[in-house]
């Protein structure tokens, strides 16, 4: 095992350990804000995994969108709907058992399936496109047989409608919009 491979392995197992522990914290911690921090850890580890897989661009996007956007939105949701002293009530025993059984069942099934399947692996060191970001851009806007321009447009429509829908839903119906100008998170459509 050469040093580069050794580093790769160590980093993989280290990140995996951190991210599994953090993921367990996300689903079990009683204080919801701490769960959000754990979620941020999982997602950062995810970016690390993508770098290990040589998808630096996706890792950057993961950090940008997940940590810079989604986690902050979730933190906002926590701030707006609970206080520091609030702790979540433990789920009932039956619900917990159901959750454990179903998730472990899924895990076991999937692992058995993976073990028994022989995937058509590509060559050990096949060539990766030199510039992943450039290639992704070509794919996203390509309208040939391997292009994704239609999904891309649909995603942008989805984002737009999500933004507008969020504004409409989050607006306080009891107040007129002119009264909201003093509130930072609700004025001028900044609810996104």
Contact 167, 191 (CB under 8 A): yes
CA distance 40 to 47: 11
- Residue 143 or 163: the one with the smaller Cβ distance to another protein is 163
Q: How far is the CB of 63 from another protein (least distance, A)?
A: 3
Concatenate the DSSP letters of all residues of 102-115 into one string.
HHHHHHHHHHHHHH
**From 14, 24, 153, 179, residue interacting with another protein (rule: CB under 8 A):** 24
Under the criterion CB under 8 A, does residue 31 sit at the interface with another protein?
yes
Give the one residue of 64, 143, 153, 179 binding another protein; rule: CB under 8 A. 64
Residues 108-147 that bind another protein (CB under 8 A): 110-111, 114-115, 119-123, 126-129, 131-133, 135-136, 139-140, 146
Window 161-190: residues binding another protein (CB under 8 A): 162-163, 165-167, 169-170, 172, 181-185, 187-190
Distance in angstroms (rounded) separating the CA atoms of residues 70 and 117: 35
Cα distances (Å, whole numbers) of residue 12 to 20, 22, 103, 155, 191: 12, 15, 24, 32, 38
Restricting to residues 39-58, name those near another protein by CB under 8 A: 39-40, 42-43, 46, 49-50, 52-58
Phi, psi of 129 (to 5 degrees): -55, 140
């Amino acid at each position: 095992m050469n040093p580069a491979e050794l580093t790769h392995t160590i980093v993989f197992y280290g990140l995996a350990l951190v991210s599994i522990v953090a993921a367990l914290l996300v689903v079990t911690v009683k204080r919801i804000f701490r769960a959000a921090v754990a979620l941020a850890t999982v997602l950062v580890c995810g970016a690390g995994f993508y770098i290990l897989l040589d998808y630096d661009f996706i890792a950057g996007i993961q950090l940008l969108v997940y940590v810079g956007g989604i986690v902050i939105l979730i933190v906002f949701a926590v701030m707006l709907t609970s206080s520091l002293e609030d702790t979540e009530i433990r789920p009932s025993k039956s619900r917990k058992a159901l959750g454990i059984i179903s998730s472990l069942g899924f895990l076991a099934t999937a692992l058995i399936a993976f073990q028994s399947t022989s995937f058509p692996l590509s060559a050990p060191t096949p060539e990766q496109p030199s510039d992943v970001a450039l290639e992704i851009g070509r794919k996203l806007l390509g309208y040939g047989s391997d292009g994704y321009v239609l999904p891309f447009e649909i995603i942008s429509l989805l984002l737009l409608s999500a933004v507008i829908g969020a504004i409409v839903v989050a607006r306080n119906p009891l107040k007129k919009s002119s009264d909201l100008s003093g509130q930072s998170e609700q004025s001028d459509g900044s609810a996104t």
